[in-house]
Structure 1
Amino acid sequence: MLEQTVAEGHISRFSDTAFTVLIEDLSSKALVDLAESIRRHISDMLIEVDKRTTSTTVSIGIVKIESNAAEPQVLFDRAVDAINHIRVETANQGNAYHLYDPSEHANSDDSALAEYLVSAITHNRFELFFQPIYDINQDRSDFFEVYLRLPLADAENTVLTPDKFMTVAKTHHLREKIDRWILINACKQLNEVRKTHPEARVLIQLTSASLVDKKLPSVAGQLIKAVGGVSGALTLQFNEQDVANHLTIAKSQFAALSDIGCKIGIHNFGTSAKSIEIAEFVAPDMTRLARDYVNEINKPDNLEAIKSLIVRTNELNIDVLMPYIEEAATMSVSWSVGAR
């Protein structure tokens, strides 16, 4: 029956009553339709065995092998997972099919997450959120920090933050592509907003993959032109540790970005014993304080440390952004210690 139903496929007995079918160039819908056709044909069969008539059913686990697919053993494991899913869903009755969806397993399977990341880049499944930043000096909030989120198609409607998927992205060399996706899509939205709010600007965090990418100034320059060519419309920020790890490259990269009107920031600032020296060497336009400073701001010793760090940073003509402000008292303190 399999040979008749899947004439174009490669069919083999896997073990006992388990068979595998390899078939090329079918969409997810076509695969599901084929599985239903096989299921229906086999369940409708009347099988003559000796002098008796009997019937049987089939359970079909479907796994797509994409260009970025996992190792063969992982694919087999997924096929088994798909069959086990049917067993659970049908209380061991079978006579069903299930298509393995990497997005449903991305929270627990690194290979599935890597595939889902590729799909998210290709099919725009990421989401961007924009947090307004209040400028004390100018009393305005038209500067927006961009946050990346990855919604999963699981039963819990999980949404992943970058700290949950960037390690996998790094392993599979996807960070540069994710950075590029953020840049392009954030600037698209900025361009729309600037039609009615021409002073709008964005602050975008990128990874070390972009910090060392020689093409970054060219890409940023094109995007700045696309949003009106205004200097300061785009600010790119990098982690202080990444900057420290690539000091010479960061200095030349920051200079090249500055030449095209792109502002530069360092986030998680103040975590190194040489934070001021790093800032002086690479000359960013802005630093964004590490969270610990704000969490402990009510402690006198920590308040003095913040004051000293901000004063020394301001002396280099570098603005200081104080994040994670949750209450009015912290806002008042940030004003008093010199954060912009």
Structure 2
Amino acid sequence: MQNTIKYQEDRQPIIELSAPSAGRALKFKRQLLQHVFDHSIESIMVTDEAGIILQVNAAFSEITGYSAEEAIGQTPRLVQSARHEPGFYQQMWLQLQQSGSWSGQVWNRRKSGEVYLQWLNINTLTDDEGRITHRVAIGHDLSGVKSTHHERTLFTFKDPLTQLGNRQLLTSRLDQALAEAERNRIRVGLMVIDVGRLRPVNEELGLAWGDDVLRQQARILQAAVDEADTLVRLQGDQFAVLRHSRAGDVTMAQLADKLLGLLGQPIVLADQNIVSLQPSIGIAIYPRDATDNAGLLQAAEHAHAMAKRGGRNRFQFVDQRQHDLHHRELLIEHSLHHVLNTAAGEGLSLHYQPQVFPGNGQILAMEALLRWEHPRLGAISPAEFIPVAEQSGQSVRLDRWVIEQVCAQIAEWRCHYPQLPVVSINLSAQQFSQPDFADWLQACIKEAGIQAEWLKLEVTETAMMMHKDTCVMMLGRLRELGFKISLDDFGTGYSALACLHQFPLDELKIDRSFMVEASLNERAFMLLKTIVGLAQQLSLSLVVEGVEQQHQLDLLADFGPLMVQGYFFYRPLPVVDVMGLLGERPAS
């Protein structure tokens, strides 16, 4: 290929390539891109849409110490340090989802364990249909910047209000302390302290006086801890003390008791106002309570939260059982976030439990029930992960994932079983704060090619009563669109009996606790019979949950037409077993 060189007016050269064939041009472009990739001084990491590393360049290996063979197949967690809170990465991920790009300073870790500062740019690549195919992360190592002024601009380890160290200094010192503790087999202690009741000072006297209180408390702490200890202000009215050695339970308790006495003394401000505070302290010990930087800080913060919950003016060591439960919840929360951001919903699956007419055993409906096989924790009960989803604001997305899967499954089944029973889906309370839900659901069934009347939406009594006005409006619209509405777990939450007639319902679902009590107690049996009669008078279909034994089924014999759901007939079944119930398997 013959090249020519021309010059612009400013004598800058322009290289022109003679027109090659399309194939040769594409090959040249690829070679050029590969040359840039291989010889860039910036580290480059390419991942697929799920975050699996596909390719890294030589600069990445030089900066991080990881070879391409070690990096490929891993995730970017390979180089993550513990200096950032989980919220930092959640915010990064949220911005990537919203805008397709993110840039900023990140503390990463080399293979040697050294933590370094990097300026990172992440961009998302999509195909012609807008689907995410790759993400490209380009990083510039800032640890080589020699200018003291520039380094001070990039990062500071001092808290400007109290002149103590800040959270970043604590993280740096923790790295050093834990490395030394591992070498010398010694303990390291970490305290998280808050002065307590600072908000009333800020609200009643003003922020300036609140700052004065913090400065005084900082001076008290500085005078009380050992010179070898690291004292920092974490945030707000929270401080931390890192004891690098001699961190047994007795010495840590003695120090905590001393600090509580000093910090709890009345403080006289310049305007002669006297402030009494109520400090609390949480204590974690390495390696007993955690074995890494982030884990130790998390453990101390959790112990501190327990101390506050216990009434303040006290210190608290880590309750390992409570800490483990808290850690498990965090793991579930973060894993759920990851699962909902993968197209396949890794580990999530649906089982279906039939609802049966007891007279002839005919299956009239099926309830879709979510199951989760976690890669580390194994099978997790919905009773555990659904509350975590609700508390972390992920229940809306979880609901919608289930609905999409159910709609696709109904569409597939309908190709082979025209008389398919209605399938019911549980809705979380948070779904009623989503004004787009009815439109989204209508679009979802349209895309799947199914009809609204093939779905039944189950709403718990508690959710319905908590969001009464919005619930009535939304369910009314959904019912107008053809969806069936069922009131789930009736009798377990707020009493909806008085306003039952106000809700746009097709069905009442009686909680299993009624069935259990009715089989043991005559008064409970009469209450169950009354509720059944009320439902029939209101022309509501009826489902009784928790039917597990013959004598329970016999109690319902004179109650008229209803459906039962429980282990007596069927446990929740995987899809393959449901197909066996629906009729002969379709020919392959």
TM-score of the pair, normalised by structure 2: 0.42
Distance 2:449 2:362 in 1: 21
Q: What corresponds to 1:111 in structure 2?
A: 330
Q: What corresponds to 1:140 in structure 2?
A: 362
Q: What corresponds to 1:246 in structure 2?
A: 467
Q: What corresponds to 1:317 in structure 2?
A: 539
Distance 2:394 2:510 in 1: 27
Q: Which moved more, 1:325-334 or 1:220-229?
A: 220-229
Give 1:312 shift.
0.9
Give 1:106 shift.
10
Count of residues in correspondence between the two structures: 280
Q: 1:199 aligns with which of 401, 419, 428?
A: 419
Give 1:161 shift.
2.6
Cα-to-partner distance string for 1:92-132 (whole Å, 9 max, x where unaligned): xxxxxxxxxxxxx9994433322211221122121111111
Question: What does 1:1-340 align with in structure 2 at a 5 Å threshold?
Answer: 8=42, 28-29=52-53, 38=65, 62-63=79-80, 65=89, 67-68=92-93, 108-123=327-342, 124-125=345-346, 126-136=348-358, 140-154=362-376, 158-200=378-420, 201-226=422-447, 228-272=449-493, 274-299=495-520, 300-338=522-560, 339-340=562-563
Cα-to-partner distance string for 1:147-173 (whole Å, 9 max, x where unaligned): 11221111xx52123321233323332
Cα-to-partner distance string for 1:264-291 (whole Å, 9 max, x where unaligned): 1111102356332232111311121122
CA contact under 8 A between 1:152 and 1:158: conserved in structure 2?
Answer: yes
Cα-to-partner distance string for 1:67-95 (whole Å, 9 max, x where unaligned): 349x998xx79x98xx99xx9xxxxxxxx
Cα-to-partner distance string for 1:281-329 (whole Å, 9 max, x where unaligned): 1131112112211222212221111001111122111112111211222
Distance 2:539 2:359 in 1: 14
CA contact under 8 A between 1:266 and 1:288: conserved in structure 2?
Answer: yes
**Equivalent AA in structure 2 for residue 147 of structure 1:** L
Give 1:229 shift.
4.7
Q: Compared with structure 1, are the counterparts of its residues 7 and 273 closer, same or farther at alpha carbon in structure 2 (3 Å cutoff)?
A: closer
Cα-to-partner distance string for 1:162-195 (whole Å, 9 max, x where unaligned): 3212333233321111111011111111111111
Distance 1:192 1:106 in 2: 40
Q: Which moved more, 1:203-212 or 1:330-339?
A: 330-339
Q: Compared with structure 1, are the counterparts of its residues 138 and 225 closer, same or farther at alpha carbon in structure 2 (3 Å cutoff)?
A: farther
Segments of structure 2 that go 5 or more residues without pairing to the other structure are 1-39, 68-76, 82-88, 95-105, 108-166, 183-323, 564-588
Q: Compared with structure 1, are the counterparts of its residues 248 and 304 closer, same or farther at alpha carbon in structure 2 (3 Å cutoff)?
A: same
Q: Which moved more, 1:136-145 or 1:110-119?
A: 136-145
CA contact under 8 A between 1:269 and 1:289: conserved in structure 2?
Answer: yes
CA contact under 8 A between 2:453 and 2:483: conserved in structure 1?
Answer: yes
Aligned-residue sequence identity (percent) comes to: 17
Higher radius of gyration, 1 or 2: 2
Q: What corresponds to 1:48 in structure 2?
A: none
Q: Which has the higher contact order (CA 8 A, sep 6+)?
A: 1
Give 1:236 shift.
0.6
CA contact under 8 A between 1:106 and 1:152: conserved in structure 2?
Answer: no
CA contact under 8 A between 1:211 and 1:238: conserved in structure 2?
Answer: no
Distance 1:194 1:185 in 2: 14
Distance 1:326 1:62 in 2: 52
CA contact under 8 A between 1:145 and 1:204: conserved in structure 2?
Answer: yes
Give 1:205 shift.
0.4
Segments of structure 1 that go 5 or more residues without pairing to the other structure are 1-5, 10-22, 41-59, 88-104
Q: Which moved more, 1:194-203 or 1:242-251?
A: 194-203
Q: Compared with structure 1, are the counterparts of its residues 332 and 197 closer, same or farther at alpha carbon in structure 2 (3 Å cutoff)?
A: farther
Q: Which moved more, 1:301-310 or 1:192-201?
A: 192-201
CA contact under 8 A between 2:479 and 2:485: conserved in structure 1?
Answer: yes
Give 1:259 shift.
0.9
Distance 2:341 2:397 in 1: 10
Distance 1:327 1:31 in 2: 59
TM-score of the pair, normalised by structure 1: 0.69
Give 1:231 shift.
4.8
Distance 1:106 1:30 in 2: 35
Q: Which moved more, 1:323-332 or 1:185-194?
A: 323-332
